[in-house]
Structure formats: C-alpha cells, structure tokens
Amino acid sequence: MVGFTEEGERVAGWAEVAYESIRAINHLTSHCPIPAPTAYRILGDLKGVGHLLPQALEQLARGLQASLEAFDVYDHRGHPGESVAEAIGLLCRAARKAADLGQLLEDAQAAISEQGYRQFDETTPELPGEW
C-alpha cells in the first residue's frame, strides 16, 4: 500500500523529478541551435517517456480506484466514487494521448536519424552549397 507513507512519498517524488527534468530541458534548449545528433539522443529518451507514461497513468488509475476500498476516503465536493470515476476517465484519456506522444517523438527521431553536421574550424573553407 502506498498511501501517505514513506513509500508514497518516494513514488510522488519521482513525478517531481520528471517534472524538473522536462523543465531543465525547456531551459537548456531555449536559446541555441541543436544539431540533429543531439536532438536524436534527446528524442530517444523523451519517446520513452511517452511510451512508459500510459502504464504509469493506468496504474495510478487502478490505485486510485483501489484506494476507495483501502482507505476511509472523503470528498469535500461530493461523493468520492464519482470524483474517482471522473479522474480515472481523464487518466485513461491522458494515457491514450501519451501513447500518441511517444509514437510522434519516435517518428520525429526517425526523421533525423541519418542527419549529421560538419564542424567549422579555421582550416575549413566555406563553400556555398556544401554546408
């Protein structure tokens, strides 16, 4: 049982790590060119997020449903079962969209898989059309 326990805090902490990681990527990619080989590596890991997120969301939905039996749940807005059912429906939709995201990121990665770049240095002549 996860609940509000040390184990529950560890699980919740990983979602925070994921959030902070995406935030860092946003910051680090906001102001510079990104060559395809670097983007390829980034997309390789991000597509994994899209492919793994559906499972995490589905398990979260199942755990939320099970919490209605395991805990004395209350809801200040109404019946706990109704709000859990609404959340589960939304989590299922999010899982489907996350799966689409994973596939789109994989497709974007494949689109640049053969791309590279040349390094400019002082001895490299600049030829129009070569770069």
Answer left, alpha or beta for residue 76, where phi above 0 means left and psi between -120 and 50 means alpha: alpha
Categorize the per-residue pLDDT at 9 as very low, low, confident or very high, splitting at 50, 70 and 90.
Answer: confident
pTM of the predicted structure, to 2 decimals? 0.78
pLDDT of residue 119: 84
- Summarize the chain as % helix, strand, coil (round to 5): 70, 0, 30
DSSP readout, 1-43?
--TTSHHHHHHHHHHHHHHHHHHHHHHHTSSS---HHHHHHHH
Given a cut of 90, whether residue 125 has pLDDT beyond it is no
The residue with greater pLDDT, 120 or 51, is 51
Calculate mean pLDDT across residues 46-62.
Answer: 95
For position 112, what pLDDT does the model report?
Answer: 97
Residue with tokens 């799966």: 99
Q: What is the pLDDT of residue 131?
A: 44
For 82-92, write each residue's pLDDT tens digit.
Answer: 999 999 999 99
